[in-house]
Chains A and B, each alone.
Chain A
Amino acid sequence: MALLAVFFFIPMAAILNVMFAQSGDIVFSDSLRPLGFTVFQALLSTLLTLLLGLPAAYVFARFDFTGKRGLRMLTMLPFVLPTVVTAVAFNALLGPRGWVNLLMMKLTGAQAPPINFLNTFTAILVAHVFYNIAIIIRVVGNAWSQLDPRLENSARVLGASPWRAFIEVVYPLLRRPILSAALLVFLFDFTSFGVILMLGGAGFSTLEVAIYTQALHNLNLPMAGLLSLIQLACTVIILLLYGWSSQGNDVPLFPRLSGEGTRKPRSAVEKGTVALMVIILFTLQVLPLFALVSRSLVRLEGERGQRGKVQSGLTMDYYRELFVNRQQSVFYVPPSRAVINSMSYAGITMLLSVGAGTLLAYAMVKRPATRRWLDPLVMLPFGASSVTLGLGLLIAFSGSMLSRASFPWLVPLAHSLIAIPFVLRTVQPALSAMPKSLCQSAAVLGASPARAWWEVEMRLLSRPLLVGGLFAFTISIGEFGATTFIARPDNPTVPVAIFRYLAQPGGLNYGQAMAMATILIVICAVSIGLLESLSRAINGSE
């Protein structure tokens, strides 16, 4: 709570106060169009994400298939990508000279690229699904796999159709996690910034984009302040609506052994569903990443022949060049240092948010009355403008004891602010659904409270804790907006290094940015894999 006060409420109050004290014109009507568009695109994106995410969550929760673990890990990776890299990835795949268009032009002999994807509304929607489907898969899928399959089976034995079994048995039990995940997705889409700017192009403006333009380009702070207030007010309304719709008590359910509810797909329909889901996820999540990686290894120049003997082909040059400081710049970042910085920020963020999130979850479960106000409060930073929050952190801490020297700590703390809701959202439902009798039996059998907690509760919580921790880790690695204002150049991270390469023209710079992004992806894949096996080790078997 103190964390929240210090890192959210004080900065927000400070910045809003300063914003309205500055000179600038407020044109209220100018805020209506971005507001309308923000709500519209967020609703549509969330619906689409649910539409694809729920079947995917089902497939992951109920079936075993080859490559399941790998695919689940891959769907998590988009989360770590800075938007500028995602934009480049989609460009490499679907852009005018992306692989898909190049292939189709070759096949059909067309002169112009047939697919016009970038700078369209579709691009915004696809990118939002690309980023956020992991939330649905993880949060809902995790709860789903904990559901006793016998409940569903009994319904089927009693004559219910699969659909009816889902609506009357499964859905009521999953309503909480679904709403909870949908809220996270909605708020992410609602405050979307980079995706709108870079993939949607100049024709679209959300509240967050308008705040950014007003605050950082027009230097019209009062207008930015007004827009931030509107955004904050909307977030409060959304959170209240959510609180109202998710009322009701959790049904305590005996946790299942992990892996108990899953089996191999049997009928043709089941096999078809699994195959279809795998294909969809692969196309949506993995192909853009693959396109990105391929561009770090392939040189495309020289296709037109006018450029001397330069040939297109495979190359490792971009990776080799990462280790060379050609212009002897003081800002050169060796890849290893950027990786170490990113990893330590992410590690600290993960520990902080898992710790704080678990404590909050315990508080909410032990004292249900606190939940009504604590939950929306914790969620607020999520829906606040990160540009405004960033400026607020700047004002609140400039010149104070916490400034300068402690700046390295500010970054993971600010990341934790965004990551805690994730931990809370995965841990709290698991905790409140845990039957009290389990701990009681342990106590009766002679376990000390500490031992009962460690061997019973912690084991049952390890999976949700892992999921929350993973999100914290990836949020931190991908960096969110507010930190760009408080980050100090002493500790450049991988995304910072990527921006540096993309800011100047030249094939080598482009290739190096792709190579750095590939390194980021690989490192995240490895870390996610390690964390998953760690949780399996604690939890016993898969």
Chain B
Amino acid sequence: MKRRLRVCALLSALLLTAGCTRAAATETATPVLTVMTHDSFSVSETVVKTFEEEYGAKLVFLKSGDTGAALNRAILTRSHPEADVFYGIDNTYLSRALQEQIFVPYTPTALAQLPGEFKSGLSGMVTPIDFGDVCINYDKAWFIERGLALPATLADLAKPAYKGEAGNGLLVVENPATSSPGLAFLLVTIAEYGETGYLDYWRSLKQNGVVVVNDWETAYYTNFSASSGRGLQPMVVSYATSPAAEVIYASEPLNEAPTASITTANTCFRQIEYAGILKGTSQLELAQRFIDFMLSPVFQEDLPLQMFVFPVNPAATLPDDFLQYAAFAQEPARIDPVLISKNRDKWVTEWTRVMLP
């Protein structure tokens, strides 16, 4: 009994301390802007400081899993929003988020300077911040060694030349049900072959021994032959910027990237990431300034080396290393975002039935 009392006392002490810290936090005068985002988000200390000093505010970033998990968190907590700004929603989830009405409208003035391709489907609610292309990456040395030409189209990938040996095809892809690059690549095939033909295309890829894994980490680090995991597949669905990361984060300084991306027409999917102000924010004014800030060169120029994505603002200058090794597609596959949100479940389910029976 005595012990039980002691534990009760301990527990209430815990709760009290928790309550006190909260009280102390609200007393301070500095306004806090909370930004909910996905786990891959990163930003320089100096950039954060620039914003904080200019507006006399404090920035808090709330990382909430991958894009789907973070969006889910925002939707589920919308009656008591945990954050003021949501950053990192991409064009495959955009229409779902708009449909859930979690944002309040805001259109920054700088939006006018952006290229037209980033401005469709915003509904006045979200602002595009960055983009990156999901493309096939390949192991340069492997292709030189074998004297094999690179595939230039999706159709090439289904040809016998890229069949590989005994159950080990040359390409590893991620499962679209559990991975966002996986979903992006599925969308590329749907854009190319249409809703009627894409399953047949995947059947032919299966014949060619395509390897399916669940997540990007496994695909890249376990299966891809040019990564440190040194797997068996010389081609992987990754980002067009991955070769730049291979150089910048090499174990030893490299003059040349060990990998490169295939960026030919209609083989890549362009992921655009947006930011929006969450409904119920108590910092509307500050949130609007932060969205403006995210489009400014200071933030935009920081993006490439932090997250290996391209800034949407054409006025931002890119770092040399990035410019040299990172790529983007001239003609990414095009597919209507509304169609994506309407059919993604159906497409993924159909795909699963064919590829993972």
* A330 and B258 contacting across the interface, CB-CB below 8 Å: no
Chain A positions within 8 Å of B356 at CB level = 202-203
A527 at the interface (CB under 8 A from B): no
* A198 and B65 contacting across the interface, CB-CB below 8 Å: no
Give the nearest-CB partner of B96 in chain A.
Answer: A219
Chain B positions within 8 Å of A507 at CB level = 227-228, 246, 249-252
A355 at the interface (CB under 8 A from B): yes
* A300 and B76 contacting across the interface, CB-CB below 8 Å: no
B3 at the interface (CB under 8 A from A): yes
* B45 and A511 contacting across the interface, CB-CB below 8 Å: no
B153 at the interface (CB under 8 A from A): no
A304 to B45, CA, bound (A): 38
Asked whether A216 and B65 contact (CB < 8 A) given A18-B76, A506-B248, the answer is yes
Chain A positions within 8 Å of B355 at CB level = 202
Q: In angstroms, how far is the closest chain B Cβ from the Cβ of A224?
A: 10
Chain A positions within 8 Å of B63 at CB level = 331, 489
A-contact bits for B57-90, CB 8 A (1 contact / 0 none): 0001111111011011101110110100000000
Residue in contact with A307 in the complex, picked from B18, B44, B222, B254, CB distance below 8 Å: B254
Residue in contact with A328 in the complex, picked from B46, B64, B250, B254, CB distance below 8 Å: B46
Chain A positions within 8 Å of B69 at CB level = 216, 484-485
* B217 and A401 contacting across the interface, CB-CB below 8 Å: no
A327 to B45, CA, bound (A): 9
Asked whether A394 and B222 contact (CB < 8 A) given A84-B217, A217-B178, A510-B228, the answer is no
A299 at the interface (CB under 8 A from B): yes
Chain B positions within 8 Å of A108 at CB level = none
Give the nearest-CB partner of B40 in chain A.
Answer: A503
Chain B positions within 8 Å of A358 at CB level = 3
* A509 and B22 contacting across the interface, CB-CB below 8 Å: no
Q: In angstroms, how far is the closest chain B Cβ from the Cβ of A218?
A: 5
A421 to B25, CA, bound (A): 36
Asked whether A218 and B77 contact (CB < 8 A) given A504-B249, A505-B249, A506-B250, the answer is no
Chain A: residues with Cβ within 8 Å of the partner, total of 79
* B251 and A394 contacting across the interface, CB-CB below 8 Å: no
* A97 and B231 contacting across the interface, CB-CB below 8 Å: yes
Chain A positions within 8 Å of B145 at CB level = 304
* A504 and B231 contacting across the interface, CB-CB below 8 Å: no
Within 8 A of A (CB), among B297-314: 305-306, 308
* B222 and A95 contacting across the interface, CB-CB below 8 Å: yes
B14 at the interface (CB under 8 A from A): yes
B166 at the interface (CB under 8 A from A): yes
Chain B positions within 8 Å of A304 at CB level = 141, 145
* A359 and B3 contacting across the interface, CB-CB below 8 Å: yes
* B229 and A95 contacting across the interface, CB-CB below 8 Å: yes
A374 at the interface (CB under 8 A from B): no
* A398 and B250 contacting across the interface, CB-CB below 8 Å: no
* B213 and A119 contacting across the interface, CB-CB below 8 Å: yes
* B251 and A329 contacting across the interface, CB-CB below 8 Å: no
A395 at the interface (CB under 8 A from B): yes
Chain A positions within 8 Å of B43 at CB level = 329-331
* A327 and B252 contacting across the interface, CB-CB below 8 Å: no
Chain B positions within 8 Å of A213 at CB level = 177-178
* A405 and B44 contacting across the interface, CB-CB below 8 Å: no
Give the interface of B toward A (CB within 8 A): 3-4, 7, 10-11, 14-15, 18-19, 21-22, 25, 39-46, 48, 60-66, 68-69, 71-73, 75-77, 79-80, 82, 93, 96, 140-141, 144-145, 165-168, 175, 177-178, 211-215, 217-218, 220-223, 227-232, 238, 242, 245-252, 254-256, 258-259, 305-306, 308, 344-345, 348, 355-356
For this complex, 24 residue pairs linking A to B, each with C-beta atoms less than 8 Å apart, are A88-B222, A112-B165, A112-B168, A119-B211, A202-B178, A216-B66, A219-B75, A299-B252, A301-B228, A301-B250, A306-B144, A307-B256, A307-B258, A327-B305, A330-B42, A331-B43, A395-B76, A398-B80, A484-B65, A499-B39, A505-B227, A505-B238, A507-B227, A507-B251
| Nearest 7 Cβ contacts at the A-B interface | A399-B80, A506-B249, A406-B18, A405-B22, A97-B230, A510-B228, A507-B251
